[in-house]
C-alpha cells in the first residue's frame, strides 16, 4: 500500500491567492513526522515545513502552514498569498520514527498564474 | 559551504558496468539516505544508514549496495547496471526534524 498519497498531479492558482495541496498518509506507527518539500525546475529539494505526530498545533513557517488532521491521516500544505516563485513540484513525505525511514508521495506540480 | 556533495553530476553508463555514486556531507549528521527520482513516482528510498557502520534497505534496494565506513561518506554502488536504473539519484542526510539533500546525480544506463 502507498504510504503517502498525493492525488493532485497538477494545480493552478492565481497569484496572491491561497492554495491547498493534499496529502494523505498511511502508517500504524504512533510516532512519525510529516514533511513538505519544494522542488523547483532547477532540481534541488528545499525543505518547507515539518509536523510531528504528537504536535497538537498545526505547523506554520511564513506563508506555509500544514493542516494536520490526525484522525483522517491527512497533512495538507496551505500556501497563502501565492507568488510566481512558488511554481514548482511539491512533495509530501513521512518519516516513520522507529526506523528513521522516509517515504515520499508522487508530488503535485503547482503553477502560479500572474 | 556546509552541505552535501554528490559526484558525478551526470553519467552515461553501458549496461552491465559497475558504477559508484559518491556522497559526502560535512554536517556530521548521523543519518544518511539514497533516493531515486523517477517521473510520476516521486522519490523512493533505496538504502539508508542511521549511523556509521550500519545500513538498512529502503523501498527499492535491489541492484544497489551501500556502505557507511564513516560519518561523512555514503557511497551507492550499482554492481551491474541495467537500463531500469536510469534515474536521478539524490543523497540526503538528516538530524532532528530536517533532511538536507544533495544536488543529485543524473544517471543514464544504455
- Across chain A, which has 114 residues, the per-10-residue mean pLDDT values are 89 97 94 95 93 94 96 96 97 90 94 96
Residues of A contacting chain B (CB within 8 angstroms): 4, 6, 9, 33, 35, 43-45, 47, 50, 52, 91, 93, 99-107
C-alpha to C-alpha distances, A79 to A17, A65, B11, nearest whole angstrom: 9, 7, 36
SS3 sequence of chain A:
CCCEECCCCEEEEECCCCEEECCEECCCCCCEEEEEEEECCCCCCEEEEEEECCCCCCCEECCEEEEEECCCCEEEEEECCCCHHHCEEEEEEEEECCCCEEEECCCEEEEEEC
Q: Which residues of A touch B74 (CB under 8 A)?
A: none
Residue A36 to chain B, least CA–CA distance (Å):
10
CB contact under 8 A, A101 and B58: yes
Confidence band for B98, pLDDT divided at 50, 70 and 90: confident
Per-residue model confidence as pLDDT tens digits over B38-97? 987 789 999 999 999 999 999 999 999 999 999 999 999 999 999 999 999 999 999 888
Q: Which residues of B touch A47 (CB under 8 A)?
A: 98-100
CB contact under 8 A, A47 and B44: no
Amino acid at each position: 500500500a502507498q504510504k503517502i498519497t498525493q492525488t493532485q498531479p497538477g494545480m493552478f492558482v492565481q497569484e496572491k491567492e491561497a492554495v491547498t495541496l493534499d496529502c494523505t498518509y498511511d502508517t500504524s506507527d504512533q510516532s512519525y513526522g510529516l514533511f513538505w518539500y519544494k522542488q523547483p525546475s532547477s532540481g534541488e529539494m528545499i525543505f518547507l515545513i515539518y509536523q510531528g505526530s504528537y504536535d497538537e498545533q498545526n505547523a506554520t513557517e511564513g506563508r506555509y502552514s500544514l493542516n494536520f488532521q490526525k484522525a483522517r491521516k491527512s497533512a495538507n500544505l496551505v500556501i497563502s498569498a501565492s507568488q510566481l516563485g512558488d511554481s514548482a513540484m511539491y512533495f509530501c513525505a513521512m518519516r516513520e520514527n522507529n526506523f528513521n525511514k522516509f517515504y515520499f508521495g508522487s508530488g503535485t506540480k503547482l503553477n502560479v498564474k500572474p | 559551504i556546509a552541505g552535501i556533495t554528490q559526484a558525478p553530476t551526470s553519467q552515461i553508463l553501458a549496461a552491465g558496468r559497475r558504477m559508484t555514486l559518491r556522497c559526502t556531507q560535512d554536517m556530521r549528521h548521523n543519518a544518511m539516505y539514497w533516493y531515486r527520482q523517477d517521473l510520476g513516482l516521486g522519490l523512493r528510498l533505496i538504502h539508508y544508514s542511521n549511523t556509521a557502520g550500519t545500513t538498512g534497505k529502503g523501498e527499492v534496494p535491489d541492484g544497489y549496495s551501500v556502505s557507511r565506513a564513516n560519518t561523512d561518506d555514503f557511497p551507492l554502488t550499482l554492481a551491474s547496471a541495467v537500463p531500469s536504473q536510469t534515474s536521478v539519484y539524490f543523497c540526503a542526510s538528516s538530524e532532528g526534524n530536517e533532511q538536507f539533500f544533495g544536488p543529485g546525480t543524473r544517471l543514464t544506463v544504455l
